[in-house]
Each structure stands twice: as C-alpha cells, then as structure tokens.
Amino acid sequence: SELIIGEAAVREHMKGLFPDWRAPGVSACLHEHRGGFAYSTDAVQGLAQNARKLASGLRAQGLEPGTSVGLILPNIPQFAEALYGSWINGNVVVPMNVLLTAPEIRYLVDDSAIRALFVFEMFLPQVEAAIADMPQPPKVFVIGNAGKHTAYAALIQGQQPAPARESSPDEH
C-alpha cells in the first residue's frame, strides 16, 4: 500500500492507472496495488483517526496483541476502520463472508479462536445463533442497533488514538 497526498500527485498517479480519470478536489489516494481508491484528505485522516481510536477501545476491552478478531461486515467505511484498528492493536484479523450461516460462523469462531466480532446489525441474528451456547462467547461489536452487545460507536467514543506501535517478527 502507498498513500499519495496532494491533489496534483493524486491526479498524476490516477491518470497513470486510468487515462480518462477526472475527480477534481481529491487530495489523497490509498493505492493497494490492485487499483486506486480515491478519498479526500479529510476522509483518509478520519479513517486513520477512527482506526487508532478503535485500537485503544480494543485494548480497553482486554483484547491484547495476537488475539483473533472476526469481521462480518459489508463494504462500508467501518470495515476499513475495524481492519486497520485491529492491526494497529496487533490483532489477527479474520474477515468472514457476510452470507455465512450460523454453523459456519461457529466453526470459524472456534477454529480461529476469535475473541471479538465486528458485525453489521443485519447479520447479528446469525452471529447470536452461532455463539448462543458457547461457554465463553466472543465480544460482539455492532455497527447499528447493538441490542445487548456493544455498539461500535461506543467502542471508539471517548478513546484517545492509540500511538503507532512497532511489531516484532515473533508476533507473526
């Protein structure tokens, strides 16, 4: 990944990928080397800020580096925040298909030793069925109506952004 900052630099980079590209005012681009994802500077900074707050929230919830977390999220901004925030905290991220059934979710939670799940509210019924009889179910953070679980917004609210952390080869 590379982050390109500055309207002129983004324009030049994106035109190299897509000759007819036009998006005036785009001042930052996160390039994943499979194509360009264009965002404004404010959006990239907001994503980074929320990811760092999420990392602090995860640590406050007792999720130490090396702990597995699952993502059952569609293509929404919180997916990127949860992914990067978990990585900043040193967690192992297990993305899951949103169409998984409860038994499939249960298998992945058990097999990957998942201790926390980020879930979009639409998929909460499958998650609740998957973890219902677990002796130590994972913590569930919900984007949307959280019910008895922790709301994603509450996880990052009031958190100070986590500082950058160095990882060691022993963690991987």
User: How does pLDDT run across 48-79, given as a tens digit for each residue?
Assistant: 788 889 999 999 999 999 999 999 999 888 89
Determine contact, residues 112/70, Cβ cutoff 8 Å.
Answer: yes
Separation of alpha carbons 143 and 76, rounded Å: 10
Buried b (16+ CB within 10 A) or exposed e, 50-81: bbbbbbbbbbeeebeeebbbbbbbeeeebbbb
Nearest to 81 by CA among 96, 71, 92: 71
Stretch among 32-41, 140-149, 159-168 having the lowest mean pLDDT: 32-41
Which pLDDT band holds residue 101 (cuts at 50, 70, 90)?
A: very high
Question: Residue 90 and residue 170: Cα distance in Å, rounded?
Answer: 12
C-alpha R_g of the chain: 18
pTM: 0.72
